Amino acid sequence: DERIVAEIMRRRFFPALITHKAWEGFHFAGHEIRITEATDCYGAVVWPSALVLCYFLETNSKQYNLVDKNVIEIGAGTGLVSIVASLLGALVTATDLPELLGNLQHNVLQNTKLKCKHQPRVKELSWGIDLEKNFPRSSCHFDYIMAADVVYHHPFLDELLLTFDHLCKKDTVILWAMKFRLDKENQFVGKFQTLFDLDVISNFPSLNITLYKAMRKGRMKA
Query: In this structure, is residue 136 part of a structural domain?
Result: yes
pLDDT of residue 5: 95
pLDDT of residue 222: 39
Angle between helix 157-167 and 183-192 (nearest 10): 30
pLDDT of residue 218: 77
Query: In this structure, is residue 74 part of a structural domain?
Result: yes
Give, for all 222 residues of the chain, the pLDDT tens digit.
889 999 999 999 988 776 667 789 999 999 999 999 875 565 677 989 999 999 999 999 999 999 999 999 999 999 999 999 999 999 999 999 999 999 999 999 999 999 999 999 999 999 999 999 999 999 999 999 999 999 876 678 899 999 999 999 999 999 999 998 766 667 889 999 999 999 999 999 999 999 999 999 975 443
DSSP-assigned letter for residue 217: T
Query: In this structure, is residue 221 part of a structural domain?
Result: no
Domain tally, the chain: 1
CATH of the domain at 171: 3.40.50.150
- Neighbouring CB atoms inside 10 A of 219's CB total 14
What is the extent of the structural domain holding 63?
1-216
pTM of the complete model: 0.93
Query: In this structure, is residue 70 part of a structural domain?
Result: yes
What number of residues does the chain have?
Answer: 222
Query: In this structure, is residue 86 part of a structural domain?
Result: yes
Query: In this structure, is residue 12 part of a structural domain?
Result: yes
What is the three-class DSSP state of 58?
A: helix
What is the three-class DSSP state of 118?
A: coil
Query: In this structure, is residue 107 part of a structural domain?
Result: yes
Between the alpha carbon of residue 145 and those of residues 12, 25, 38, 40, 135, the distances in Å are: 24, 25, 25, 27, 13
Query: In this structure, is residue 222 part of a structural domain?
Result: no
